[in-house]
Structure 1
Amino acid sequence: MSNETKRPLLLTMGDACGIGPEIAAAAWLGTAEREDLCLVGDVGVLRRALAQRGLSLPLARLGDLAELGRLPPNCLPVWQPDGLPADLLDCPQGRIDARAGRAATLCIEAAVAAIRAGAAAGLVTAPLHKEALHAAGVGYPGHTEMLQALAAAADGALPPVRMMLANEELRVVLVTIHVALREAIELLDIERVLQTIRISDAALRRFGLAAPRLAVAGLNPHAGEGGLFGREEIEIIAPAIESARAEGIEASGPYAPDTIFMRARKGEFDLVVAMTHDHGLIPVKYLGVEEGVNVTLGLPFVRTSPDHGTAFDIAGRGIADPSSMRAAIRMARRLLG
């Protein structure tokens, strides 16, 4: 497919005060086949990111995504959405700023609109800061919930989405995401757990696994120890697993959360379904964020992101590692086929 007709993979810059612009630009440069990659963000912020990494690449502002295929090689392509704050460069790097939260949101909204209009193929998002979103009056706790809302059907129905974090050793999908732990426990029910198992099975089949082996982690210590430490395994998780197996899904459990991730890492299972955010993400992140990728399952388009945050402590120093961003690009391409 020629550059003129291939739909681009969009890389949003994330929070302008964090490392997002830097790792997006560095990941673009570090990708061998980058003719279909286009950054979505503020031209001034991305030009600053290049300078902070000591790069003197030319930068081209696109008026339209169709211009991407006509650019000279080694020219960083940037599509700047309308309405970004004019004073974005005045935001101090390494600090929460409502302007950066608003800009990150506008970039995501523009990218999703382009994908849904058929002008782009998929999305890789650099990190945003949840407090900056809140400061900007954005009513979503993170990327996942924002993308779910942007992917709503014409009648307003939200697609059921789940977060998967994956690296070369472990895949984990979460039943609950960005809510307080007390609320996460209250949200658990048979249908939510069953839906997560279904989404996980379907995703791995798209990845090419004919019969994915899903391990479902329990919620309580020792998976409840037969009801001694809680009854969620008996009343919610086990019935969901039984229903999934009746549908032909190779799911098993509930397993003790403190050992199941080791078993999956050794190859006994292809994926672990975890009940809460930290139950599932701590084991993956412990293995290293350099190659970790966040994939939003259930969206009508491909979205991946790096397995880390805005890293305000090193923002602007030109030292952020773009490895996870590059891994997210590779994963997106794999999912796009």
Structure 2
Amino acid sequence: MENRKPILGITMGDPASIGPEVAVKALLDSNVYEVCQPVLVGEADVFEQAIQFCGLDLKINRISKIADAKFEKGTADVFDLNYMNIADLKMGEITAEAGDVAFRTVVKNIELALAGEIDGTVTGPINKESIQKAGHVFAGHTEIYAHYTDTKKYGMLLVEENLRVIHVSTHVSLRQACDLVKKDRILECVFLIDEACKKLGIANPKIGVAGLNPHASDGGLFGYEEEQEILPAVQEALKRGFNVEGPIPADTLFPKAIGGVYDGCVAMYHDQGHIPFKTVGFNWDQAKGQMKSVRGVNITLGLPIIRTSVDHGTAMEIAGKGIASPDAMVLAIEYAARLHRNKQDNL
């Protein structure tokens, strides 16, 4: 089996956001070229602009096919899509033009992976409002990837140190999220996170399943979802041989998981999983009034291709200022390389 470093396609995200900035900054991290062969996918002029306002010592190598990449530290290989005129770019603004370019860039990266030209994909942040303004009716990256890879069963996994979280539902209203707490979907999430943990090198992952209601309903005092949907899913998972516990009150589950008791967690809805995750990975600098570190990786499970991402937003308010942290992007690249390596080892 060929043992080369994987070629990873790294998108710029929304061109008006911090996405291009964190991508070029990530290429200066000492570990990136040790674990992969990175190719930036997007607008070469936009990446060039980010290099300039950040004052980075980095050259651009514009390419139209992956075979022309140099993979040399100090040179950013850019698969140049040339979808826009940079003179039309309005940094820090939500526009249909930027949303359209961001969307088309994601689709191109997926196409490169499906064609086998790259070994995995890493995505910068997109803005859901700009995507919608451009007429692309998707809730986010996860749904775009599922659609363009024809994937029916998928999930969003968040990873930061010991904390690994999958969600029963993500981009829906809280009222809808309660209705989506169903046995079959919970079982699906247990399967997906168990498989993901194994791909990350955890041989026998222990999975904790959160309750939906306060105190996991306290025996039915505060709701019925635990008794009717969550517990039956856990019991069925146990019958199928999964190492799983639940339903566990969320305010107990996540502190234990952070401490290493559980290798993976099943959250019932978006914020239930995202809040503990971002509490661990995001660190605010009170004196400077900005984030000093933004860590954490978003991995889409169930796809035929590798997809990891930063799990922060477009941060339009600081776009173009050169102060965005590339920590999450570096981690996303490292995780994509790790997933590819483990996949190769298991072939």
Smaller-chain TM-score range? Answer: over 0.9
Tell me which amino acid in the other structure corresponds to 1:13: M
- Once the two structures are aligned, what percentage of the paired residues are identical? 41
Tell me which amino acid in the other structure corresponds to 1:187: L
The equivalent of 1:59 in structure 2 is 60
- C-alpha deviation, 1:307, in angstroms: 2.1
**Aligned with residue 255 of structure 2, among 262, 274, 282:** 262
- C-alpha deviation, 1:57, in angstroms: 2.3
Contact 2:6 2:337 in 1 (8 A): no
Q: Which runs of 4+ in 1 moved over 4 A?
A: none
**Aligned with residue 326 of structure 1, among 318, 326, 330:** 330
The equivalent of 1:16 in structure 2 is 15
Give secondary structure in 2 for the equivalent of 1:146. helix
- C-alpha deviation, 1:88, in angstroms: 4.2
Q: How does 1:142-221 map to 2 (within 5 A)?
A: 142-152=140-150, 158-221=151-214
Q: Describe the superposition over 1:34-82 as per-residue Cα deviations: whole angstroms up to 9, x where unpaired.
A: 361000010111110000101242211102111114x665221100236
- C-alpha deviation, 1:159, in angstroms: 3.0
- Unmatched 5+ stretches in structure 1: 153-157
Backbone CA RMSD of aligned residues: 1.7
- Scaled by the length of structure 1, what TM-score is found? 0.93
Q: Describe the superposition over 1:61-112 as per-residue Cα deviations: whole angstroms up to 9, x where unpaired.
A: 102111114x665221100236x13x34422211101111111111111111
Give secondary structure in 2 for the equivalent of 1:29. coil
How far apart, in 2, do the equivalents of 1:186 and 1:205 lie?
30
- C-alpha deviation, 1:291, in angstroms: 2.6
- C-alpha deviation, 1:258, in angstroms: 1.5
- C-alpha deviation, 1:189, in angstroms: 1.2
The equivalent of 1:287 in structure 2 is 280
Give secondary structure in 1 for the equivalent of 2:260. coil
The equivalent of 1:79 in structure 2 is 79
Higher strand share: 2
The equivalent of 1:29 in structure 2 is 28
Q: Describe the superposition over 1:198-230 as per-residue Cα deviations: whole angstroms up to 9, x where unpaired.
A: 111111112222211000000001101111111
- Scaled by the length of structure 2, what TM-score is found? 0.91
The equivalent of 1:112 in structure 2 is 110
How far apart, in 2, do the equivalents of 1:323 and 1:7 lie?
20
Q: How does 1:236-315 map to 2 (within 5 A)?
A: 236-289=229-282, 290-315=294-319
The equivalent of 1:121 in structure 2 is 119
How far apart, in 2, do the equivalents of 1:207 and 1:288 lie?
19
Q: Describe the superposition over 1:260-298 as per-residue Cα deviations: whole angstroms up to 9, x where unpaired.
A: 101111221111110000001100101123331111111
How far apart, in 1, do the equivalents of 2:275 and 2:133 lie?
27
- C-alpha deviation, 1:160, in angstroms: 0.9
- Unmatched 5+ stretches in structure 2: 283-293, 342-347
How far apart, in 1, do the equivalents of 2:5 and 2:300 lie?
23
How far apart, in 2, do the equivalents of 1:177 and 1:272 lie?
14
Instruction: Identify which range, 141-150 or 165-174, moves more after superposition.
Output: 165-174
